[in-house]
């Protein structure tokens, strides 16, 4: 949506930015009566979002298993992701580590929890964003997979994203699918941004990103983690190009060429 986000309270005169707070009420007096102090309406899809998994970490510290907190972790991750976007006050934002880590945690813990319930992953579940690959239950019993999930629970809210080489085999499809979904959401916002700031070269690169993202979705995320990482890097190079770094266009091309 396009809004005039720089506001001034009609009650007390306080000025604030809706782009930063996401609040229509005055931060000082709580009044809903305000006026815009900018004439131009600007595109805005991002919102303030916090993820606090402290309660779940405390439960785990007391001896609970991962599946005991899986539902709460998934719920909080979904709430965070719903608030997020990639255009703030007309400015295009990068595909950031926090969004990627939370999307991965949401997907991985759903796959882990489902595997624990049924033993072997069956047909694609109704919930979007969980892998439909057959996964032997024993793979999720592997200590490396559980350590990886615990690392995500500890660090996702701070944007701590494990390196591709650290992804256990059992969770490779989870990461790939999570990144495909993140790229899809990012691509949608970039497409919207380009409606306001047309750039034929940027649009061409975005279409190539779409092709790779759809391929990753079709493979249910089951690609080498380095492949998914390359697609993320292509998105980031495109963002830098659209924000004025001309040379980043070549990098985006090279990243995508490596995926063809």
- The contacts of residue 136 (CB under 8 Å, 6+ apart) are 120
pLDDT score for 120 = 45
Q: For the sheet containing 15-17, what is the strand order?
A: 15-17, 6-9, 34-36
Per-residue confidence of the chain (260 residues) as pLDDT tens digits? Answer: 787 778 888 889 888 888 888 888 888 998 888 888 888 888 999 988 999 999 999 999 999 999 999 999 999 999 999 999 999 999 999 999 999 999 999 999 999 988 877 754 444 444 556 665 454 444 566 788 899 999 999 999 999 999 999 999 999 999 999 999 999 999 999 999 999 999 999 999 999 999 999 999 999 999 999 999 999 999 999 999 999 999 999 999 999 999 99
CB 89 within 8 A of CB 19: yes
pLDDT of residue 24: 83
Burial class (CB in 10 A: 0-12, 13-18, 19+), 126: exposed
The confidence score (pLDDT) of residue 114 equals: 86
**Domain extents in the chain:** 2-43, 54-259
Rounded Cα distance between 96 and 236, Å, is 9
Instruction: Find out whether 110 and 81 touch, Cβ atoms under 8 Å.
Output: no
What is residue 135's predicted lDDT score, i.e. its pLDDT? 46
């Amino acid at each position: 949506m396009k809004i005039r986000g720089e506001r001034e309270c009609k009650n007390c005169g306080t000025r604030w930015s809706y782009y930063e707070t996401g609040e229509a009420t005055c931060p000082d007096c709580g009044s809903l009566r305000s006026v815009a102090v900018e004439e131009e309406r600007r595109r805005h899809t991002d919102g303030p979002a916090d993820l606090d998994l402290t309660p779940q970490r405390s439960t785990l510290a007391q001896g609970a298993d991962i599946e005991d907190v899986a539902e709460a972790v998934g719920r909080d991750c979904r709430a965070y992701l719903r608030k997020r976007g990639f255009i703030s006050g007309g400015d295009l934002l990068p595909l950031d580590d926090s969004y990627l880590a939370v999307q991965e945690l949401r997907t991985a813990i759903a796959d882990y929890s489902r595997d624990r319930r049924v033993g072997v992953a069956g047909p694609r579940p109704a919930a979007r964003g969980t892998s439909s690959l057959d996964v032997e239950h024993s793979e999720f019993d592997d200590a490396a997979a559980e350590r990886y999930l615990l690392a995500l629970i500890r660090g996702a809210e701070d944007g701590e994203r494990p390196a591709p080489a650290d992804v256990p085999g059992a969770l490779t499809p989870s990461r790939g699918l999570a990144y495909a979904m993140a790229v899809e959401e990012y691509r949608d916002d970039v497409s919207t941004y380009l409606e306001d700031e047309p750039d034929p070269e940027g649009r061409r690169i975005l279409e190539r990103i779409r092709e790779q993202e759809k391929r990753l979705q079709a493979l249910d995320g089951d690609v080498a983690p380095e492949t998914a990482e390359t697609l993320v890097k292509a998105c980031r190079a495109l963002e830098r190009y659209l924000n004025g770094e001309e040379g980043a266009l070549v990098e985006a091309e090279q990243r995508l060429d490596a995926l063809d």
